[in-house]
Structures are given as C-alpha cells and as structure tokens.
Amino acid sequence: MKYLNIYIDKVNVILSDYNLPTNKMLLLPRNNIDNYVYNVRNVPGIEDIEKNIINNGGTVLNTYQINNLYLQFLTVKHSDIIILDYGSSYFFNCLFIKNKKIILLNNHHHYYYHMTFLSYKNLNEIITSNNKVVVITPKQGNIITYNDIKEYLCE
C-alpha cells in the first residue's frame, strides 16, 4: 500500500500540470476487442447508455480509439461523473481521481464477490475513500440501461 500510494501521488503530480475543460459525464465503455473465449463480457444495453450520455452533453471515450494514456487519464480526471463497467477499467482509470462520482456498471455481478480478495479490496478502498462510488447491478438479467443510472446523474 505504501508504494501504491507513492505511485498514485506521482501520477497526480504529472496530471496536475495540464488542465482540460470539465466534462459533465464520461462513459468508458467496455471494449470488445479483448473478449476471448473465457473472457466474453459483452455489455448488453451499452448502446442505449452511450446514446443518452452523448445526447445529454456527456462524452464517450472508447480507449481503443485513443493512443495517449496521458490524455486518457486527463479526460477521466476532468470529468465530474465517470460511468464504466466494473473490472480492470475501474481499477485502472479511477485509482488516481478524487472528488468524483463514479457509476460502476456491475453487469456481471462480480463486484461484491471480488471484494473478498484483498488486492481488489485494497484498490477499491482507495477509490471509494476519494470518490462517491455508486454500484449499479441489473435488476433482471445482465442489462443495465440509461434509465437505471439517470437518477444518479443529477444528484
């Protein structure tokens, strides 16, 4: 944890050198390129969320369409609300941010199970202690729609 916190602090110093306009909402959709046989995690309903985020003044950043990690982290840092699928994207993109609202799409019901693992739990504690995290689990099946998250966009 000591070295992880040093790393987080160093990244935040690097990111503090540059400012971008603030995004109201940022959606980081799960990429399908790395979905192999044992890693198929398509997110049904994501098109509905993408369309509504854009229509309501937000930004959708597909990380396979960007080749600049610095710009990716800056975009996340300068967004008020970050919406993303639970998994490595959550830990990777949210570890360095503070005072944000994170809407975590728990489509595959892994969030609470993974919190039993110390490594995930430690990372999650860093993120949740610095931000407001809302975990959205589908009510039926594995589909989360814009209607499931829109109440959290206005709080």
Q: What percent of the chain has a predicted confidence (pLDDT) above 70?
A: 86
Q: Does residue 110 register a pLDDT over 80?
A: no
**Model-level pTM?**
0.83
Residue 134's pLDDT is: 96
Backbone angles phi, psi at 51, to 5 degrees: -60, -45
Residue 111's pLDDT is: 76
Strands (DSSP E) contained in the chain are 23-28, 59-60, 79-85, 101-105, 132-136
Q: Does residue 18 register a pLDDT over 80?
A: no
Mean pLDDT across the chain:
84
Give me the mean pLDDT over the 64-85 stretch: 89
**Cβ atoms within 10 Å of 107's Cβ, excluding its own:** 24
d(CA 108, CA 85): 9
Give me the mean pLDDT over the 14-29 stretch: 82
Contact residues for 126 (Cβ-Cβ < 8 A; gap 6+): 4, 5, 8, 95
Residue 105: closest CA among 87, 84, 123, 121: 84
Give me the mean pLDDT over the 26-43 stretch: 66
Domain ranges of the chain: 80-155
Which region among 60-64, 81-85, 122-126 has the lowest average model confidence (pLDDT)?
Answer: 60-64
Which one is predicted more confidently, 94 or 88?
94
d(CA 30, CA 84): 7
d(CA 108, CA 143): 9
List, for residues 113-132, the tens digit of each pLDDT value. Answer: 777 888 888 899 999 999 99
